[in-house]
A and B are shown apart, each in its own frame.
Chain A
Amino acid sequence: AQRVTQPEKLLSVFKGAPVELKCNYSYSGSPELFWYVQYSRQRLQLLLRHISRESIKGFTADLNKGETSFHLKKPFAQEEDSAMYYCALQGGSNYKLTFGKGTLLTVNP
């Protein structure tokens, strides 16, 4: 069975502060990990995926297979980063996604 755990439901930081949203997963094979984001009154959209190893909007995430983690990080949070963030796992070839419960990030001015 595959499982994604986001331990923090809420995370509040001040503008300019570093932010880390935690994600741990459980999967027996080689998963593909994603971070999806949902801004207020907008649809869910892809933020980044581990295979791309790129930085999007200043965010990065590294897949740590030893710790089965895929934490999302940004060194200097901005107010526009305030949103709901979901970590998701895709195992196998059928594109089915398993989502974590999400973390609501609030960046205060």
Chain B
Amino acid sequence: GAVVSQHPSWVICKSGTSVKIECRSLDFQATTMFWYRQFPKQSLMLMATSNEGSKATYEQGVEKDKFLINHASLTLSTLTVTSAHPEDSSFYICSAHRNMNTEAFFGQGTRLTVV
């Protein structure tokens, strides 16, 4: 199957700093990637759709100035959590689709802890 890689797998940062999470499709090109957030023992919540070469589409209630998404190439999307606060601590997961296939391939996730 296709491979989607996230980096870093985990990160600890101080309140007020910004953190960048990368999502790469390693063996295919993805014009669209998705960013999810998962709280402990809860489901995945779609945050935004990352579109290559254009602005991301954010879900209702997600602050676009807080969660900056950049999809500058067909294999890389980045999520930057700006001015992080402890309530931003969560598990962030990205996904991508290959060749217009409906199957989503997921990254391994990034555990963000803001202290």
Contact = CB atoms under 8 A, between A and B. Distances in A.
Interface of A: 9, 32, 34, 36, 43-46, 49, 51, 86, 90, 94-102
A44 B93 contact: yes
Nearest to B103: A46
Contacts, number: 47
Contacts of B104: 36, 46, 95, 97
B107 A43 contact: yes
Interface of B: 1, 32, 34, 41-46, 49, 93, 95, 97, 102-104, 106-109
A101 B44 CA distance: 8
Nearest to A9: B41
B32 A95 contact: yes
A95 B97 contact: yes
Given A49-B103, A96-B46, 18 more contacts: A9-B41, A34-B102, A34-B103, A43-B107, A44-B106, A45-B106, A46-B103, A86-B43, A86-B44, A94-B49, A95-B34, A96-B34, A97-B46, A98-B46, A99-B43, A99-B44, A99-B45, A101-B42
A109 B17 CA distance: 47
A49 B106 contact: no
Given A95-B32, A96-B34, A90 B46 contact: no
B103 A97 contact: no
Contact of A101 (B43, B95, B97, B103): B43
30 contacts: A32-B102, A36-B104, A43-B108, A43-B109, A44-B95, A44-B106, A45-B1, A45-B106, A46-B104, A49-B102, A51-B102, A86-B43, A90-B102, A94-B32, A94-B49, A95-B32, A95-B34, A95-B102, A95-B104, A96-B46, A97-B34, A97-B44, A97-B46, A97-B95, A98-B46, A99-B44, A99-B45, A100-B43, A101-B42, A102-B42
